[in-house]
């Protein structure tokens, strides 16, 4: 299914994610029988969409990593690591330790991404991607 606004193919999101992260007024409009997807397009204001509904960035309680490039936006929602935290880790050489810490929390069953992360799935992949990109920039 593609986003109604951008045409971008969306990734499925569990209903519990929407219930946890939509503002009260947006939640009051939710049709729980629908299947929702996340629009990953950073230029599109739509975050979640179904065949008949959309929810934008203003409908969420938290900023969305994929939609907001600000340095204080979380990359890891469960353990509160922002872009600026990852940038600092890349500069100080502690990126691998930060990644290992998150990985250990996930393996210990402490990850709550289905209710904390707007994408509804583990954010470790986002953390790894950002840290690797930053490491390449540091080497250049």
Q: What is the pLDDT of residues 6-27, one digit of tens each?
A: 999 999 999 999 999 999 999 9
| pTM (2 d.p.) | 0.92
Q: CA 131 to CA 116: how far, in whole Å? A: 21
In DSSP terms, 2 is beta-bridged to: 9
- Pairing outcome for strands 81-82 and 74-76: antiparallel
pLDDT at 139: 76
Share of the chain above pLDDT 90, in %: 94
Q: How confident is the model at residue 38 (pLDDT cuts 50, 70, 90)?
A: very high
Block residue for tokens 């502690």: 94
Q: Is the pLDDT of residue 136 over 90?
A: no
pLDDT at 17: 98
pLDDT at 12: 97
Contacts of 39 (CB under 8 A, 6+ apart): 3, 5, 6, 8, 10, 46, 47, 48, 49
Q: CA 135 to CA 138: how far, in whole Å? A: 5
pLDDT at 15: 98
pLDDT at 123: 94
pLDDT at 108: 96
Longest Cα separation, the chain: 49
Residue 69: CB atoms within 10 Å? 10
Residues 66-89, mean pLDDT to the nearest whole number: 96
DSSP output for 13-62: E-HHHHHHHB-HHHHTT--TTS-EEE---TT-SEEEE-SS-EEEGGGBSS
Average pLDDT, the chain: 95
Q: How confident is the model at residue 100 (pLDDT cuts 50, 70, 90)?
A: very high
């Amino acid at each position: 299914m593609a986003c109604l606004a951008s045409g971008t193919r969306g990734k499925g999101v569990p209903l519990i994610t929407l219930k946890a992260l939509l503002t009260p007024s947006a939640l009051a409009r939710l049709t729980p029988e629908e299947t929702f997807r996340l629009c990953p397009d950073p230029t599109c204001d739509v975050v979640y969409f179904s065949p008949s509904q959309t929810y934008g960035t203003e409908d969420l309680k938290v900023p969305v990593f994929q939609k907001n490039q600000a340095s204080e936006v979380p990359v890891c929602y469960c353990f509160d690591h922002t872009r600026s935290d990852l940038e600092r880790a890349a500069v100080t050489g502690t990126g691998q330790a930060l990644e290992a810490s998150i990985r250990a929390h996930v393996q210990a069953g402490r990850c709550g991404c289905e209710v904390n992360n707007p994408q509804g799935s583990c954010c470790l992949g986002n953390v790894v991607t950002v840290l690797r990109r930053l490491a390449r920039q540091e080497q250049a």
